[in-house]
């Protein structure tokens, strides 16, 4: 039998839980006043904070309120804090580093904020056994939140400080402009910077050029879309630039520079490295930044050998940004074929050249799940071998034969004729290249889909099993 003592013996677990909920609810109701108190205390106890201007203190107060709100959500939901709860911390840490606040003072501010919060918990606990027990039950999760948040903030602070120290060097910006102009550094600090980034004039290392821009809209604190103001946009660009700079661990620093409204990076792949791996890492970096409210559109050039083709690669990366929808994404040339690129570059005239029968069939097929389109692709991939096509689709050869016959009836094209198959593949690629909601041709396809659904009233076709 345990000899431990708990006030719950006298008060009951339900009573303690009710007291805990009461305390947290009162804190949530009084959150704004609590954040004001914490911000004033930081200003009074931390000289480095006291020396800052009103804009700085308004930002501090906003961060305190956001931390308190996240902390209360974690406590009320009785769960463990996650990175999603404190995603806003990274950009705040970056702003503290840029303002000259020392890391020790920044972490001290977390201590002050925690102290103010805890004192308010104790005050609201009152003098009852249940209130004391409820306050004690909050001590461990409060410490866990503070440790987690302050550690994450310190890491973000150090990452940005390291990035800023390198990015602030004029040679990095000058080096980028030299390379984009088609030149090559020959001596001095600029040459040293080029060699440090794997971009020396004699290098034959495979390179890529990455261009990233902020999407037109950024999500607000509650997920709503809001315009990116000039200050917020600058913060987001620098944070994204720092993240891109550390994406590729190939033994050299990746040159990554904020250049007006865009971020330009020139990663060196290194011996044996695959461009696809870098594209995957950049995609993961973009997904990570989404959790911090930073929405990027990223264009990636083809692989080049040496620095002489950097201007051309830069234009490639900028061009493929046009392929992305308004909510951003990653457009990577190493991931697509020349055929796909031509389809992406096609205008409405190319789409109007497609036989209306093919357009209608593709629209109807998309509404039904895309089985005929998948069959066309699989038949081409199987080198016009019906049995291999059926195996790829995991269907009976008779079903595959039926689908080919159905495609010929609908479009007048035989998949066994190279010219007809090529025409169908081009039509599919042109449809795939349409950005959702951004091209008027999409409306025509939607209208064709509606028409095909109307025809379904008079009978559906069924495939034999």
Q: What is the pLDDT of residues 124-141, one digit of tens each?
A: 998 888 889 999 999 999
Last residue of one domain, picked from the residues 335, 363, 383: 335
Q: pLDDT digits over 56-81, tens only?
A: 999 999 999 999 999 999 999 989 99
Instruction: Please indicate, yes or no, if residue 64 is contained in any of the structural domains.
Output: yes
The verdict on residue 176 lying in a domain is no
Query: Are residues 209 and 276 both part of a single domain?
Result: yes
Residue 409 belongs to a domain: yes
Residues 221 and 99 in one domain: no
* Number of separate domains in the chain: 3
Greatest C-alpha distance within the chain = 88
Residue 187 lies in a domain: no
Look over the chain and give the mean of its residue pLDDT values, rounded to a whole number: 81
pLDDT score, position 286 = 92
Residue 399's CATH number = 1.10.10.2840
**What is the CATH number for 121?**
1.10.490
Domain termination residue (choose one: 279, 309, 335): 335
Instruction: Note whether 329 and 352 are same-domain residues.
Output: no
Same-domain check for residues 325 and 349 = no
Whether residue 323 is found in the same domain as residue 301: yes
Q: Residues 147, 22: one domain?
A: yes
The CATH number of the domain where 310 resides is what?
3.30.70.270
1 occurs within a structural domain:
no
For residues 130 and 212, state if they share a domain: no
Of the candidates 282, 379, 391, the residue with the CA atom closest to the CA atom of residue 330: 282
315 in a domain, yes or no? yes
DSSP sequence for 346-371: --HHHHHTS-HHHHHHHHHHHHHTSH
**Does the residue 298 lie in any domain?**
yes
Q: Within a domain: residue 356?
A: yes
Q: Which of these three, 146, 166, 186, is where a domain ends? A: 166
Closest by CA to 167, choosing from 255, 247, 263, 67, is 255
Under 8 Å between Cβ of 207 and 176: no
| Residue 316: predicted pLDDT | 92
Paired tokens of 79 = 């769960």
pLDDT, tens only, 363-400: 898 888 899 999 999 999 999 999 999 999 999 999 99
- 449: three-class secondary structure by DSSP: helix
Same domain? For 321 and 351 the reply is no
Domain that residue 418 falls in: 345-458
Question: Residues 353, 374: one domain?
Answer: yes
CA distance 192 to 186: 9
Residue 348 has a pLDDT of 78
> Bigger pLDDT: 404 or 173?
404
Whole-number Å distance between alpha carbons of 166 and 246 = 12
**136 and 24 fall within a common domain:** yes
pLDDT category of residue 449 using cuts at 50, 70 and 90: very low
- State residue 172 phi and psi, 5-degree precision: -65, -45
Residue 40: which of 61, 63, 16 has the closest Cα? 61
Instruction: Verify that 211 and 91 share a domain, yes or no.
Output: no
Q: Please tell me whether residues 20 and 146 are part of one structural domain.
A: yes
């Amino acid at each position: 039998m345990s000899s431990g003592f708990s006030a719950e013996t006298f008060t009951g677990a339900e009573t303690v839980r009710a007291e805990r909920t009461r305390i947290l609810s009162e804190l949530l109701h009084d959150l704004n006043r609590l954040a004001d108190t914490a911000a004033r205390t930081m200003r009074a106890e931390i000289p480095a904070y006291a020396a800052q201007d009103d804009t700085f203190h308004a930002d501090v107060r906003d961060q305190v309120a956001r931390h308190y709100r996240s902390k209360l959500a974690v406590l009320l939901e009785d769960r463990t804090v996650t990175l999603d709860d404190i995603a806003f911390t990274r950009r705040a840490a970056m702003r503290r580093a840029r303002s000259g606040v020392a890391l020790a003072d920044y972490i001290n501010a977390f201590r002050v904020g925690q102290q103010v919060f805890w004192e308010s918990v104790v005050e609201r606990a009152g003098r009852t056994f249940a209130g004391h027990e409820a306050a004690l039950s909050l001590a461990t999760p409060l410490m866990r939140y503070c440790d987690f948040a302050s550690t994450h903030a310190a890491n973000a602070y150090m990452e940005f400080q390291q990035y800023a120290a390198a990015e602030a060097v004029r040679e990095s910006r000058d080096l980028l402009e030299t390379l984009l102009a088609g030149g090559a550094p020959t001596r001095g600090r600029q040459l040293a910077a080029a060699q440090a980034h794997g971009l020396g004039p004699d290098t034959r290392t495979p390179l890529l050029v990455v261009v990233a821009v902020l999407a037109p809209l950024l999500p607000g604190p509650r997920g709503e879309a809001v315009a990116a103001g000039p200050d917020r946009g600058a913060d987001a660009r620098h944070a994204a630039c720092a993240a891109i700079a550390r994406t590729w661990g190939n033994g050299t620093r990746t040159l990554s520079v904020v250049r007006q409204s865009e971020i330009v990076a020139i990663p060196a792949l290194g011996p044996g490295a695959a461009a696809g791996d870098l594209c995957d890492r950049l995609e993961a970096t973009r997904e990570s930044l989404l959790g911090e409210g930073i929405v990027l559109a990223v264009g990636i050039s083809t692989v080049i050998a040496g620095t002489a083709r950097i201007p051309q690669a830069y234009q490639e990366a900028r061009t493929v940004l046009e392929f992305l929808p308004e909510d951003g994404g990653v457009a990577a040339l190493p991931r697509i074929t020349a055929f796909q690129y031509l389809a992406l570059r096609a205008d409405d005239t190319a789409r109007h050249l497609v036989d209306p029968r093919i357009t209608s069939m593709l629209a109807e097929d998309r509404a039904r799940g895309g089985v005929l389109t998948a069959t066309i692709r699989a038949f081409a991939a199987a080198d016009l071998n019906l049995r291999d096509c059926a195996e790829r689709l995991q269907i009976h050869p008779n079903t595959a034969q039926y689908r080919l016959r159905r495609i010929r009836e609908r479009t007048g094209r035989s998949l066994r004729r190279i010219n007809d198959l090529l025409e169908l593949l081009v039509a599919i690629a042109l449809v795939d290249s349409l950005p959702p909601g951004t091209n008027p041709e999409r409306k025509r396809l939607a209208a064709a889909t509606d028409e095909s659904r109307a025809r379904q009233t008079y009978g559906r076709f069924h495939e034999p099993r």
